[in-house]
Amino acid sequence: MLARDEVQRIFESAFPEATSLPIIEEVTDSGVIVRYPIDSRHERPGGTVSGPTMMMLADTAAYAAILSRIGSVLLAVTTSLHIDFLRRPAMTDLLAEGTILKLGRQLAVVEVAIRSDGSSEMVAKAQATYSLPRS
């Protein structure tokens, strides 16, 4: 299992042109916790965080959870992502907890719970499946 700083460095080196990167808050026994800073670029009409922003965060948390276990295997790719939007998030940082459900030789499945910072209620719940490159 990689340390939090190691996972953060993977994102920084793999996506050098990104204007904002997720912050790996913690690597846990079951996955990761990722923070995503929210600002006006992520707002949709109605004063809430856009769905595409939450989908990106779900996919990012799943990727981070997998990389925390297999290392810098950047060719792991999303094969499916399902998300349910549960309630309106506040315009504040989002926290995503990615929990690895399966880490096999060819596929990884991660469940992601997204919350607004400071709230215990989920605003979205996702499940992502990744195809892992053959070693």
Angle, helices 51-70 vs 4-14, to 10°: value is 120
Q: Which amino acid is at 67?
A: L
Mind listing the pLDDT tens digit for each residue in 47-97?
899 999 999 999 999 999 999 999 888 889 999 999 999 999 999 999 999
What is the separation of C-alpha 60 from the centre of its chain, rounded to a whole number of angstroms? 3
One DSSP character per residue, 44-97 reads ETTTEE-HHHHHHHHHHHHHHHHHHHH-S-TT-EEEEEEEEE-SPPPSS-EEEE
Across 11-20, average pLDDT: 80
Please report the pLDDT score of residue 135 as a whole number.
Answer: 65
Angle at 120 between CA 115 and CA 125, to 5 degrees: 40
| pTM beyond 0.75 | yes
Question: Which pLDDT belongs to residue 128?
Answer: 98
Question: Which domains are present in the chain?
Answer: 4-131 (3.10.129.10)
The one-letter amino acid code at 58 reads A
